[in-house]
């Protein structure tokens, strides 16, 4: 069966596919795409056999760094990252949750110093009994991955 | 951290904990010496805590050091809106170490990261208060002769009480058995029970204080705070259930000792004070020696190996 692309093919750059629709704009924000000057195509609420409704990001002429793409592992762990060179996928990059998450998560503890003063947030990722928890480096409060607040 | 700060009890290994307790015993034998001669220690109390502040200040003065600082944020520059970062930088120009109490959780970790001199956390909100934990350990060691294989009963506010949480973490090195006695509203949070299970620490839970601590070596009482209850009727009931009275101690072990971080309100009846098992005032005095050991340790020059990051 002939496959028809809803979004134009990318010559060079990065494609992030299979982003849950409700996470698309969080991904945009985490990757600071709102201030990126490259040509960017966003698509949302596309049909997906796997996840129902998905979002998609194509960034022209920029291969995101591993550190950058891993930042979205927290909120879109099943997103697919492809690095494209001359219309060919040259790298299918797996998402790996980093051991530490800097800046993008806000501490849920209202009494944490990071919510009162200009302190960059820092969380340690704990993998206990198959449940992923984030522990604030400062107030030491632990929060479940699903309850994480993205800044 | 680029220095010797003590922020959380988890910063210390088992060996470091034992070495502090050793050193505390040494200071107890001889608390007046001039090992901090010429040193200036700042005590920055962004919220008042007279007991802790006096204990640290006495520890320093008895070792020949001097004290600068403030005991209330209202009299400090933070009331003018200065950030903690700036206050710490300013004070570190004058002092060799900083003892800090702050109402925000994580303040001590942040201070330790920006400070060129060691920070000793004297309490950051509901988070950590490591000198209290170390003096609890010292009191347990002194009264029982060992920290290993003890039966410890924790009573009262186990939900918000940071001293009991830190005590569980610190005791986890020494194969304890715990009993948690608390009203349903103030039960031990799941994360600490998970911690116990993961570290193979046996524990049981009960919600009434009777004489159900007859197996215990240590009875650790905490204050049930009125402000934790939405319903004041409930508080009045709970308050009475969680009061330890002298006649409840009749069948307890002769070697049992009762600890309390103080201040107490009604959870230990004054008729217990005369019982030889009551140890809470002596416990407070032990705080002095433990704090002498802590201040001395953080001021020791770092070995090249000790320099991190």
Q: Which of B8, B83, B109 is nearest residue A117 as measured by Cβ atoms?
A: B83
Q: Give which of A105, A109, A111, A136 to mutate to test B binding, by max B Cβ within 10 Å.
A: A111
Contact residues on chain B for A109, CB-CB shorter than 8 A: 105
Cβ-based contacts of B125 with chain A (< 8 Å): 111, 139
A140–B128 CB contact, under 8 Å: yes
Give every residue of chain B whose pLDDT is below 70, as ranges. Answer: 1-2, 75, 77, 302-309
Number of domains in chain B: 2
Domain ranges for chain A: 13-93, 100-150
- Per-residue confidence (pLDDT) for residue B232, from 0 to 100: 85
User: Could you tell me the two tokens for B112?
Assistant: 């330790």
Contact B194 A129 (CB under 8 A): yes
Q: Is the same domain home to B120 and B190? A: no
Residues of the domain holding B250: 131-284
Using an 8 Å Cβ cutoff, are B131 and B51 in contact? no
A112/B contact by beta carbon, under 8 A: yes
B92 and B66 co-located in one domain: yes
pLDDT tens, chain A, 151 aa long: 456 666 678 999 999 999 999 999 999 999 999 999 999 999 999 998 888 999 999 999 999 999 899 989 988 999 999 999 999 999 999 999 999 999 989 999 999 999 999 999 999 999 876 788 999 999 999 898 888 888 8
B192: domain CATH number? 3.40.50.1370
Which of B219, B171, B195 shows the shortest CA–CA distance to B17?
B171
Interchain pair A140, B103: CB under 8 A: no
Give the residue from B123, B88, B106, B172 showing the smallest Cα distance to B291.
Answer: B123
Say which DSSP state B6 is in: B
Question: Could you tell me the sign of the dihedral formed by the alpha carbons of B45, B51, B57, B59, in that order?
Answer: negative
Q: Which two tokens stand for residue B14?
A: 């088992």
**Does the annotation mark B101 as catalytic?**
yes
Does the CB of A102 have a partner CB in chain B at under 8 Å? Answer: no
- Domain membership of residue B2 (yes or no) is no
The pLDDT of residue B304: 60
Task: Indicate yes or no: CB of B127 within 8 angstroms of CB of A128.
Answer: no
pTM: 0.87
Q: What is the CATH number of domain A100-150?
A: 2.30.30.20
Question: Of the listed B53, B62, B101, B102, which one is catalytic?
Answer: B101
Q: Peptide bond before B30: cis, by omega within 30 degrees of 0?
A: no
pLDDT at B302: 63
In a domain, B119, yes or no: yes
pLDDT in the model for residue B78: 73
């Amino acid at each position: 069966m002939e496959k028809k692309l809803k979004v134009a093919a990318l010559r060079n750059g990065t494609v992030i596919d299979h982003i849950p629709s409700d996470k698309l704009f969080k991904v945009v924000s985490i990757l600071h795409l709102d201030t990126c000057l490259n040509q960017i195509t966003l698509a949302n609420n596309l049909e997906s056999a796997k996840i129902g409704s998905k979002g998609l990001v194509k960034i022209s002429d920029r291969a995101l760094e591993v550190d950058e793409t891993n930042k979205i592992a927290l909120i879109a762990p099943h997103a697919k990252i492809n690095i494209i060179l001359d219309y060919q996928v040259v790298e299918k990059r797996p998402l790996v949750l980093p051991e530490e998450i800097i800046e993008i998560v806000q501490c849920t503890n209202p009494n944490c110093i990071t919510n009162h003063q200009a302190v960059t947030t820092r969380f340690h990722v704990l993998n206990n009994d198959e449940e992923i928890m984030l522990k604030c480096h400062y107030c030491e409060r632990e929060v479940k991955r699903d309850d994480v607040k993205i800044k | 951290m680029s220095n010797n700060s003590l922020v959380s009890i988890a910063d210390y290994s088992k060996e470091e904990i034992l070495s502090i307790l050793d050193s505390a015993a040494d200071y107890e034998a001889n608390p007046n010496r001039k090992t901090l001669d010429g040193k200036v220690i700042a005590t920055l109390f962004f919220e008042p805590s007279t007991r802790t502040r006096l204990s640290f200040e006495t520890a320093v003065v008895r070792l020949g050091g001097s004290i600068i600082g403030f005991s209330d944020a209202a009299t400090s520059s933070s009331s003018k809106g200065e950030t903690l970062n700036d206050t710490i930088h300013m004070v570190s120009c004058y002092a060799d170490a900083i003892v800090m109490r702050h109402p925000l959780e994580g303040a001590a970790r942040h201070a330790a990261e920006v400070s060129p001199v060691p920070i000793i956390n004297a309490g950051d909100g509901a988070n950590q208060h490591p000198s209290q934990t170390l003096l609890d350990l010292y009191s347990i060691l002194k009264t029982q002769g060992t920290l290993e294989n003890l039966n410890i009963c924790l009573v009262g506010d186990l939900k918000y009480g940071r001293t009991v949480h830190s005590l569980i973490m610190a005791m986890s090195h020494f194969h304890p058995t715990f009993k948690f006695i608390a009203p349903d509203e103030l039960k031990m949070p799941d994360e600490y029970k998970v911690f116990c299970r993961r570290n193979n620490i046996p524990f049981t839970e009960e919600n009434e204080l009777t004489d159900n601590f007859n197996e215990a070596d240590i009875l650790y009482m905490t204050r049930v705070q009125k402000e934790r209850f939405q319903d004041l009727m409930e508080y009045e009931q709970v308050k009475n259930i969680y009061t330890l009275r002298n006649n409840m101690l009749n069948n307890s072990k002769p070697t049992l000792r009762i600890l309390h971080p103080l201040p107490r309100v009604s959870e230990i009846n004054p008729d217990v004070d005369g019982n030889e098992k009551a140890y809470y005032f002596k416990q407070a005095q032990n705080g002095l020696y433990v704090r002498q050991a802590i201040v001395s340790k953080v001021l020791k020059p770092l070995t090249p190996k000790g320099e991190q990051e």
